[in-house]
Amino acid sequence: MVQVSTFARTVFINFLLVLLSIAASSCVNAASDPTVTGWIVPANASFTTVKPLLQNAIATQTKSDLAHVRIKAKQDYWFIIDLSKQVQSKLAVIYADNAHLSHVEFYTLDDNFDQLAAVNNDTHRLINKVLPHSVFNTDSAHWGVIFARHNDDGWINIGFASDQQFIAVVNSRLRDFIIITGLLLLCIIISSIVYILSQQAKSIYLLVYLGCVLIEFLIAQGAFNYFSGALLPIWYAKLQLSLQVISLAVVVGCFIHYLQSRNIIKPRQYKLLAYVSLLCVTAILSCFMKQSVHFIVVTLSLGCMLVLLSYLFFYWRTHTKQAASYEFLIVASAVILQTLCWQASLVAGSPLYPFNELLIVINALLFVVMLLNHERKRVKQYTFSLSHDDETKLPNKRLLIKRLDGLVKLATAHSILLFRPAVLLNARANFGYEHVNEHIKVTMGKLAQQLASMNVLCVETNKQGLDCIVRLDDSTYAVVIIGKLELSQIEQLVCVINSVFADGITHKRLHLIDKVDIGVANYPLHASTSSQLIQRGLQALAAKPLHGERWHMFNIENVTLSQRRIAIASALKEAIECDQLSLFFQPQVDLNTGKIHGGEALLRWAHPQLGHVPPDLFIPIAESAGMISDLTEWVITQALLYQKQITALLPEHIVSINISAKDLLRKDLPVLFITLLDEFKLNANNIMLELTESATLFEGVDIKNALNDYRLIGVKIAIDDFGTGYSSLAYLSKMGFDEIKIDKQFVMNIEYSKNDQTICRATCDIAKSLGSYVVAEGIEDSQSMVKLQSYGCEIGQGYYFSRPLAFDAYMLWLEQHLETTPLVTSDGQTVTDLIEKNNY
């Protein structure tokens, strides 16, 4: 941005110097060109036959000013100059200042009108192509005669000067030509570079405009004569006027493109572009017409272009209600002034040529400077967007890290406080981004005012004041506290933030209450770099709040746990694919008969590096990571495969499979059961799906419909961990579970807890009334077993019978306990004897 600004200033200074140079050159030329007088004889004759006419004109006519003469088309003109009264130097030059004359000849005569030989002017032969002239010796020459013919109406300017004066005139014009041509080429190069860098359409329009102006200028100066053996055809000179129409059409087209890009004139754009193209084609074709017709066509075309430009301007003002920018007014004025000056030069001739050249320089430099200024604004805006949020205009993470790096470099202690308004996500979904962003701007403005008097870091100073709040992402903001870590200061900041956000968000009579999650990390206590400090703050922000806590300080233990959860999530997919998982079975025994009822399939994971990972840790991670479906399919497939082998030994064996609440509503899971049951030739009545009580409360209506799908297959449904949730009797009756499992927390202490005894007895009574049977988990001794059996509990499961076993060990256990003998306690008494003895 600094380089662009410096370059713009350099261009502006050069612009002033060029203007002064051209103005000074015009003044020198005007002062050095003496007034040339003589006689004008319009006659179509050869030199030998026109001599009497020349002598007669000298004798009878008065002298005329030859510096600016209008000549008619296809008419021969003879101009006579009295050389003896013009200059006193030995060598002099007569020249005709018009590079587009069809024919021009120079003669020098003595006192008797006899022709003299002209002085050799080979040194000026290249100049003769654009400035026809003749060098003569004033000692012998008395009269100078110039013959000129033009194929169209035009102007001729006769000049007379000493040899040194002529060289000065040529040098001055050559200098102006080089300066203006070089300046136009420089502007074209700059516009090309800007287009390559920015790919903006306006650069293309400027390139075309500058190209037209350059060709106009070269034609007017006769530059193309150097590449032709004869003088330039007249229609090339007419093309110069047509290029004026094209250059103005480019300006109009650029304005149409501007309006189109803002959807202001979209329905009419193609019609307007067709009008502009038609005017350009007409102006070009008129080059092959007569001069008078060509002049009328070009004039009308330019007039139409100006009218169209005015129409677009007022259309824009009417439909946008915007004040015209100074840049647009300057461009429009410069283009219109250039057009009018070109047209005036056709009438007035050479006196207006210096003004044309001056306007060429002004317009070219003006347009390029404005283009560079516009690009400077774009670069400035782009640079601003890199370090600021687009929606709220607050400083972003990039600018925050830059400021924190400065503090770290100075070893200044500081803390970062990250806060996240919890209501933002819900508010955007219900109220829309625009309303919420406006609310954020207002709220952050209030918060910044209150934080201004506190010891917080000013991230940036702008026109509105000091910015001490940074937006890290869509919903997370940051404030930096300068100084050592002080809990009282953090508490004060937390109070300020909570009070500002306490009002929530209101929109169309809807009000959302807001609360703020806050995390804090300190340098150098928690981090050694700015990026690490932000990461620590985010980790503190992600910590689950405990009751009464309003903010969290970074804690390395939470980070370790979080990293372990990430490692587990990363390794879980590999565990499924590489067969690191396994199923253990815990037997379920009929308390009345002692027979084996079945077994619960329990998932186990032994990772090579992480070691034994408990299910209550990796299953929630699998749910949050979106891998629970793959995990469930693996468990079901493996459990049914094992059930096929178990039923070969024990046909009535029932396998219980735990299923996640998120998988219960999957429509493809019943299809999987049907496929596997058919493939393994299993009885669906021997399959029990265990759902936790919290899972059954998840979207109750859909759960009931999902359970009906499984019942149609023949699979039985159990409610696991009963008593830990909030199920009502009506809810249990509505769901119609085949089995109710008492959670082990009510069983393990049943000998000593009256409450647990009451819960277990009531559960058994509820199950009987609903037609379900009861399974008790966590039976670890015979006394617990006896009490549960006395309450009417049918099935027992726990360490008293067996720990969870790997499949091979479970098969051995089944083979050893296939006898259907009654259950016997450690002292040799049966369960029935104990019940009768204790009168349960």
Q: How many Å from the N-terminal Cα to the C-terminal Cα in the chain?
A: 92
**Mean pLDDT confidence for 413-428:** 82
**Domains in the chain and their CATH numbers?**
33-156 (2.60.40.2380), 392-554 (3.30.70.270), 580-838 (3.20.20.450)
Q: Is the pLDDT of residue 601 over 80?
A: yes
Q: Which of 32-36, 193-197, 602-606 has the highest mean pLDDT?
A: 602-606
Q: Is the pLDDT of residue 466 over 70?
A: no
Contact 29, 169 (CB under 8 A): yes
**pLDDT value at position 612?**
85
**pLDDT value at position 603?**
92
More confident residue, 74 or 814: 814
Cβ neighbors of 618 (< 8 A, separation 6 or more) are 568, 572, 605
**pLDDT value at position 541?**
86
For the beta carbon of residue 433, count every other beta carbon within 10 angstroms: 12
Q: Is the pLDDT of residue 29 over 50?
A: no
Alpha helices in 388-482 (DSSP H): 397-409, 424-431, 433-451
Report d(CA 651, CA 203) in Å as an integer.
85
More confident residue, 119 or 764: 764
More confident residue, 787 or 47: 787
- Is the pTM higher than 0.75? The answer reads no
Q: Is the pLDDT of residue 325 over 70?
A: no
Closest CA to 58 of 83, 72, 39: 39
Report d(CA 735, CA 417) in Å as an integer.
49
**pLDDT value at position 817?**
84
Contact 727, 693 (CB under 8 A): yes
Poorest-pLDDT segment among 649-653, 747-751, 782-786, 831-835: 831-835
Q: Is the pLDDT of residue 14 over 50?
A: no
The full DSSP string for 322-339 is: PPPPHHHHHHHHHHHHHH
**Phi, psi (degrees; rounded to nearest 5) at 677:** -65, -40
Report d(CA 201, CA 329) in Å as an integer.
20
* SS3 call for 736: coil
Report d(CA 591, CA 823) in Å as an integer.
7
Neighbouring-strand partners of residue 719 = 691, 740
Report d(CA 832, CA 237) in Å as an integer.
127
Contact 38, 80 (CB under 8 A): yes
Q: Is the pLDDT of residue 717 over 50?
A: yes
**Mean pLDDT confidence for 479-495:** 87
**pLDDT value at position 656?**
94
Report d(CA 564, CA 571) in Å as an integer.
10
Q: Which of 192-196, 225-229, 723-727, 782-786 has the highest mean pLDDT?
A: 782-786
More confident residue, 92 or 834: 92
Q: Is the pLDDT of residue 644 over 90?
A: yes
Per the rule left: phi > 0, alpha: psi between -120 and 50, beta: everything else, 113 is: left
Residues in the chain: 840
Give the CA distances from residue 88 to residues 32, 82, 663, in Å, rounded to whole numbers and listed in that order. Answer: 15, 12, 114
pLDDT one-digit tens code per residue, 375-398? 888 888 888 888 888 877 888 888
Q: Is the pLDDT of residue 597 over 90?
A: yes
Q: How confident is the model at residue 823 (pLDDT cuts 50, 70, 90)?
A: low
**Mean pLDDT confidence for 813-827:** 64
Q: Is the pLDDT of residue 640 over 90?
A: yes
Q: How confident is the model at residue 11 (pLDDT cuts 50, 70, 90)?
A: very low
The helix (run of H) or strand (run of E) holding residue 79 is strand 77-82
Q: How confident is the model at residue 686 (pLDDT cuts 50, 70, 90)?
A: very high
Give me 568's structure tokens.
Answer: 């587990």
Q: Is the pLDDT of residue 838 over 60?
A: no
**pLDDT value at position 760?**
92
Contact 457, 414 (CB under 8 A): yes
**Mean pLDDT confidence for 506-511:** 66
Beta-strand (E) ranges in 505-547?
A: 505-507, 510-512, 516-523
Give me 808's structure tokens.
Answer: 């091979």
pLDDT one-digit tens code per residue, 210-224? 888 888 777 777 766
Q: Is the pLDDT of residue 683 over 90?
A: yes
Contact 733, 696 (CB under 8 A): no
Q: How confident is the model at residue 821 (pLDDT cuts 50, 70, 90)?
A: very low
Poorest-pLDDT segment among 186-190, 645-649, 693-697: 693-697
pLDDT one-digit tens code per residue, 336-366? 777 777 667 666 655 666 777 777 777 777 7
Mean pLDDT of the chain: 78
Report d(CA 414, CA 451) in Å as an integer.
16
